[in-house]
Amino acid sequence: MNLRRRLAACLGVIVVCAVLNIASPIVIAKQRTLVPGEHTMHFSGDRSRTVTLTEEPKAMRARVEVDGEEVDSFLIDPSTAFPTKGRAGLGPLIPYNPERRTYPLHDPTTGNDAALDYLGPGNVRGLETYKYAATLSDGCTRTVDAERRTGRILDEVWDCPPEQWVLADDTKTAAVNAARNDVAWLRGLQVMAVLTRFIAAVAFIVGLVAYARRR
């Protein structure tokens, strides 16, 4: 192979590796962006919570229903899960790539924010989670396990003395399966990023050596 072809081949490898690396932020952006539709979670005692997302100019409308009754409605940033204006407190959803810190959680009863405190690491069916809890003004305590990369809620318990609402098994199974798929994609992208950078570096060195020897 003459020098020109060898350099062209090395350049081609570097370009392909660069293009593959662009796939990572695209997939992550798709994972973290909320999509319109209904998202229902079922709890023990035939309780349910539905978050309905609808598109609006520059934002989405999140409508929250508990047992079919609307309890909250707000504009939400689909890329962060935070309200866009009017308040700071989160709705039922946890942000993508959650942090180990206290988040403001909207309390529909008072209209104020409660502290959704980070409690520590957790585990739901083999997936690592961050555990959070908040006590609302009506005495209910909400405890959630969010998958630590995607923020997807894998488990949730409401302590409402004398009752306790526990996430239904079918809802938990569906959430865990979806999270496993998301995490598998993220791990695959991490491996691909390492390999493509290594291959690109090798191609660059091969091309550089070939050019130096030619001279």
Residue range 27-38: mean pLDDT, rounded:
83
Higher pLDDT, 215 or 169: 169
Asked which of 10-14, 127-131, 177-181 is least confident by mean pLDDT, the reply is 10-14
Cis previous bond, 162, omega within 30: yes
Helix (H, G, I), strand (E, B) or coil at 104: strand
Residue range 141-169: mean pLDDT, rounded:
96
Buried b / exposed e over 141-158, threshold 16 CB at 10 Å, is ebbbbbbbbbbbbbbbbb
- Res. 30: pLDDT tops 90: no
| Confidence category of residue 38, pLDDT binned at 50, 70, 90 | very high
pLDDT at res. 27? 72
Residue range 125-153: mean pLDDT, rounded:
96
| Confidence category of residue 16, pLDDT binned at 50, 70, 90 | confident
CA-CA-CA-CA torsion sign (28, 29, 35, 40): positive
Please give the mean pLDDT across all residues of the chain.
Answer: 90
Contacts of 208 (CB under 8 A, 6+ apart): none
Q: What is the 3-state secondary structure (H, E, C) of 127-152?
A: EEEEEEEEECCCCCEEEEEEECCCCC
CA-CA-CA-CA torsion sign (117, 123, 124, 129): positive
pLDDT tens-place string over residues 190-204: 787 788 888 888 877
pLDDT at res. 58? 78
Report how far residue 92's alpha carbon sits from residue 162's, in angstroms, rounded to the nearest whole number: 22
pLDDT at res. 93? 96
State the pTM of this model.
Answer: 0.83
pLDDT at res. 64? 97
Residue range 32-50: mean pLDDT, rounded:
94
Residue range 130-159: mean pLDDT, rounded:
96
Residue range 156-169: mean pLDDT, rounded:
95
Token pair for 29? 């952006």
| Confidence category of residue 86, pLDDT binned at 50, 70, 90 | confident
